[in-house]
Amino acid sequence: QVQLVESGGGLVQAGGSLRLSCAASGRPFNTYTVGWFRQAPGKEREFVAGVSWSNSITDYADSVKGRFTISRDNAKNTMYLDMNSLKPEDTAVYYCAADLSFSARVSWSAVEYDYWGQGTQVTVSS
């Protein structure tokens, strides 16, 4: 079993930056892929970024590529999402999630993730 706790959300002006963190506990952190998803009001949850259990593969949604950077520190059981050049359309609740399938790839599908955090709100004002 895995427990995930997000932090770092908040209100920021367009063009600003935020760093989200996801602290994990339970199963050894370096044995599963982790990812960030987001959900805006009235929209479906969407993939943002992910990093494999081996820390060798990262993947990003086209909408955030070049602006967001995902990383993980297996020694600290923590994953990060550095978000730069934020836009109003980035406003959403951001969730971290764990994929325990030991897959060699990063999945974009929410149904393939087994555990989720409670979410943290990110609001970007124009």
Nearest-angstrom CA–CA distance, 93 and 45: 9
Per-residue pLDDT tens over the stretch 19-72 = 999 999 999 999 999 999 999 999 999 999 999 988 889 999 999 999 999 999
> Minimal CA–CA distance to 69: which of 95, 54, 49, 42?
49
* Mean pLDDT value across the chain: 96
The one-letter amino acid code at 103 reads S
